[in-house]
Structure formats: structure tokens, C-alpha cells
A and B are shown apart, each in its own frame.
Chain A
Amino acid sequence: MGLLQPESGLLFWMLLSFGIVFFLLARYGFPVILRALESRKSYIDASLLAAREAEEKLEHLRSDGQKLLESAEQQQREILREASELREQIIREARKKAESEGQRIIATAQEQASAERAAILDDARHQVAVLAIAVSEKLLREKLTDENSQTLLAERLLDEIERSSKS
């Protein structure tokens, strides 16, 4: 039964050495390793989290850029459209202006022409009247003494002729 009997000396040495081993390892050995493991684990976790956040941020930035690009394109289209509208409008307005100006010029020209024609007609009528008077003076010299009354008569006659020709 010697094997089952704890030796007092061995008990003493075992208590002493295990006590020292436990004191040293549980104080300076394993907690250091455990702490290092835990801090590395938390560092890895934090790094993973940071990486994911950075990725999200990048994704966000990318979509922002896309959005910006799209809005710029839209703006460009808008501007182009507005510019073309403006051009159309300007051309239309210029055309309208030119038309009205032309019409105005034509109207004044017509007016002038009609006035000239009236003047020419007046002049012609006068000439005709003078001629007629001269003719009728020659014809009716003896009939009409007063030159003035003769002219008046002739003009009245001419007016009547004109009125009849117009009607």
C-alpha cells in the first residue's frame, strides 16, 4: 500500500513548487497571454468594422458621384434645350420683325406711290384743264370774256367728266 500513502516530504515539495508555479504563471504568465489574445481579437474586430464602414462610405461616395453626374447631364440637356428654344424664338422674332418692317415699308411706298399718283393725276388734270381751257379759249374766245369764269366752267365740266368716268 506504499503507493497509496502520500509521503509528507513529497507533499511539502509539491505544495511548495505547485504554489510557486501557480503564483508565477497565474500572475505573470497566462494573464499576459490572455490579455494579448483578447486585445488582438478586439483589434481584429475593430479593424473589420472599420473596413466595412470604409466600404460603405466608398459605396456612398460612388453613388453620390453617380447622382452628381446624372444631375449635371440633366442640367446640360436642360441648358441645351433652353438655348435651342431661345434661338428659335430669336429667329421667329427676327422674322416677324422683318416681316412687319417690310410690310411697313411696302405700305409707306404704296402710300407714297398713291400720293404721287394723285399728284400726277392732279397735275395731269390741271394740265388737261389748262389745255382744255386753252383749246376752249381758242374756241370760245368770243363767247367768254372773263377768263376766270371760263376756267371755273371748264373745271366744273372736267369734274363732271371725272365723276362720270369713275362711276
Chain B
Amino acid sequence: MSYLKDKGFFLFILLLSPLFSLGQTDSTAFDAKSMVLGHIGDSYEWHIGSIGGGDLSVSLPVIVYSPHSGWHCFSSKKLREGQEYEGLRIAAGGDYAGKIVERQSDGSDVRPFDLSITKTVAGLLINSLLLILLVLGSSRWYKHRRADSPAPGGFVGLMEYLVSSLVDSLIKPCVGPNYRRFAPYLLTVFCFILLNNLMGLLPIFPGGANVTGNIAVAFVLALATFLAVNLFGSRAYWKEIFWPDVPSWLKVPLPLIPLIEFVGIFTKPFALMIRLFANMMAGHAAILSLTCVIFVTVEMGTAINSSMTFVSVLFNIFMNCLELLVAFLQAYVFTMLSAVFIGLSQEHHKPETSEQVEK
């Protein structure tokens, strides 16, 4: 495993000039690929950095249920460096590389049901708590205020501005007359994605987890939009799917168009999921790869290493600015497309003349 996992430590290293890393090159060859993937993926402990040869990391609770040995709950500190605890260990290779496995009596490894608070889960929980505090804190401000009290300033003012601009410029025009019903969901999704994206950009402990760039997180968000679209879809929306306004031969013996429309129900949220996941993951990967340039070029001599360090820092500054934009943009796009899909499913069928023309 690499001795560096987190962007935070890299930025720390960047400040200390390449000399620091030069001293360590002889001990281990730097593996950029596993470093990047290790960060983007999940882990059982939250690595902060390596100081003085020892790893500085936050241990997280492991919660697993094995059909053979029941529930296990302990700190991930016990599984460090491939140690085995209560018959469980982190697989070094194979199908379950990096995951907790249980050794069976016949020597094979089986994955127990894993509910561990991993790095991503911990980041998710911290960010969720933060989001709840921020939004409920803002809404508390209004408790003892009336319509004629002056508008809020500070963070509550920012929150109010965010909410009102999103509602006026995005939710109202996209969802249509029924927007009031869906505004809380869309605002929640926007704030959830935005906060998780921004926290992912922070290089040290409470931030830095790749939450929205994880497929499971994106999947749940897309699932929520899928449910919002289809559970509250109007009669006209379902009619458009199963009996659309197309020439009869396109739907009668072989339901071509209805089939396409039906598949479309699932591809829309699927596209949402992939877009969010891929964008956020790619952002993390790009920043990490650029940082890795410093450590990869260490063996090429001090001159090249120094110049590449300079280039890397420059590019990293640019990428971080870009990611700041992307963090907002992805939240905005996800919310906007969700709003558009909801708006389409809410639309009432307007009587068209195409059927009469056909006859």
C-alpha cells in the first residue's frame, strides 16, 4: 500500500518542498494508481497522513454480520496491517480486495454482511448532520419572526437567497404549477449534493471523502428522483408511456414505442446517477493524479522533480477552482434534471389534433 493516501497530506507535503519526499524514495516505490484508487474508493479507516513513518488516521467502527458467527462490532484499529480479529480480516487481494472477509473452515473467504462505518459512510454521516444543522438552524431564525420583520443577513440570508433563487429560476419554471409540492425535495437534493461535493474538496479530515463520487450514493439520489417522478406521475404521463400519440402500427402488434418509453423511465435516473458519480469521481481522480506527479517524478532527479512540483501545484490550483465550479454545477444539473423529469410527469395531456387528422 502507498504511504500517502490523502490529498490533505499532499498539500502539506507541497509546502515542504520535494526534499521531504526525496528522503523516502528508497524505502517504497510510489504506486500512483493504487493511491488514486485507494482514495476514490472506500476504506475502513480515515487516513489523514503519514508522519514520522507512522500512519495518522481516524479509526472507524466495523459492524459486520456473519451468518456463522453473528454480529461483530469493533474498531477498525484491530484490523490494521492485515491483522485478523474475531476471524475477520481485510482481504489483501482476490475478489474482495480491501474488504472485510471471514475465513471459512475450508479455507475460502466469504464476505459477511458489512454495515461498517467506512470512510465514505463517515463522511456521509458528518455531512448529513452538518446539512441538517445548517438548514434547520436557518429555518429556526424564522420562528419568532413575522412577515414584516426585516430580511435576515449572514448565513440565513445566504440560505434564503439560495432557496429563493433556486425556486424562482429553476424549480418553478421546470416543475410547473405544482412546484410547491416538490420544492422541498429538490432543495434537499441540491443542498445535499452541494454540501457533499464541497466537503469532498476539503483536503483534511472532516472533508475529503469521495461521497457523491460513489455509485451507491448517486444511486440512492437517482432512486429518490425516480420515485418522485413515477409515484406522483399524472394519468397523462402514464398514458404517454403505454399508449403514446403515434401511428397505430408502432404500438399495436409490437409495442415498439411503449417499450422505448418504458425503458426511458429507467434510463433517465440512470443517466442522472452516472453523471453525478462520474463527474465527482473524475474530479477527485484528476486532482489526485496531478498531485501524484510530484511523487512519480521524484526518481528523475531534483531538477525535474522541482519543476514538475511547480507545474503540479499550478495545475492543482486550477483543478481545485474547476472542481469548485463542478461541485455547484453537478448539484445544479442534478436538481434541474430532476425538476424537469418531475415537471414532465406532472404535465396534463393537452388535447391534440393529431388523432383526428389520423382518422
Contact = CB atoms under 8 A, between A and B. Distances in A.
Q: Do A and B bind each other?
A: yes
B42 A10 contact: yes
Given A6-B219, A9-B121, A29-B135, A37 B114 contact: no
Contacts of A40: 147, 151
B121 A30 contact: no
Interface centre among A3, A4, A5, A42 (most CB of B within 10 A): A3
A52 B135 CA distance: 37
B221 A18 contact: yes
A3 B41 contact: yes
A40 to B, nearest CB: 5
A8 B131 CA distance: 24
B220 A22 contact: no
A9 B132 contact: no
A43 B164 CA distance: 16
Interface in A1-30: 2-15, 17-18, 20-22, 24-30
B220 A14 contact: yes
Contacts of A28: 136, 139
Nearest to B143: A32
Contacts of B101: none
Interface string B183-226: 11101100110000000000000000000001111011100100
Contacts of A10: 42, 118, 120-121, 124, 214, 216-217
Interface centre among A3, A21, A24, A29 (most CB of B within 10 A): A29
A26 B188 contact: yes
B166 to A, nearest CB: 10
The secondary-structure label for the interface of chain B is helix
A30 to B, nearest CB: 4
Interface residues of B, number: 52
B65 to A, nearest CB: 10
B229 interface: no
A34 B138 contact: no
Interface residues of A, number: 37
Given A13-B124, A21-B131, A34 B183 contact: yes
Nearest to A35: B142
Interface in B151-169: 151, 159-160, 163-164, 167
Contact of A9 (B114, B138, B147): B114
B113 interface: yes
Given A11-B219, A25-B135, A34 B192 contact: no
Contacts of A9: 113-116, 118, 121
B40 interface: yes
Contact of B159 (A11, A20, A21, A33): A33
A34 B163 contact: yes
A21 B98 CA distance: 30
A137 B182 CA distance: 158
B151 A7 contact: no
Contact of B220 (A3, A11, A25, A26): A11
A102 interface: no
A30 B188 contact: yes
Contact of A14 (B114, B136, B216): B216
Contacts of B68: none
A26 B121 CA distance: 22
Contact of B41 (A2, A26, A33, A43): A2
A31 interface: yes
Given A8-B114, A12-B115, A13-B117, A39 B147 contact: yes
A2 B37 CA distance: 10
B234 interface: no
B145 interface: yes
B128 to A, nearest CB: 4
B147 A18 contact: no
Contact of B138 (A8, A21, A31, A33): A33
B281 interface: yes
Given A10-B42, A21-B131, A21-B188, A29 B138 contact: yes
Given A3-B41, A33-B142, A33-B159, A21 B192 contact: yes
B156 to A, nearest CB: 9
Contacts of A15: 220
A36 interface: yes
B132 A25 contact: yes
Nearest to A25: B188
A33 B132 contact: no
B139 A7 contact: no
B125 interface: yes
7 contacts: A2-B97, A3-B281, A18-B192, A28-B136, A29-B138, A33-B139, A37-B167
Given A2-B41, A5-B215, 6 more contacts: A2-B97, A3-B37, A7-B42, A9-B115, A25-B187, A26-B185
| Cβ-closest 5 pairs across A and B | A26-B184, A43-B147, A6-B216, A32-B139, A29-B135
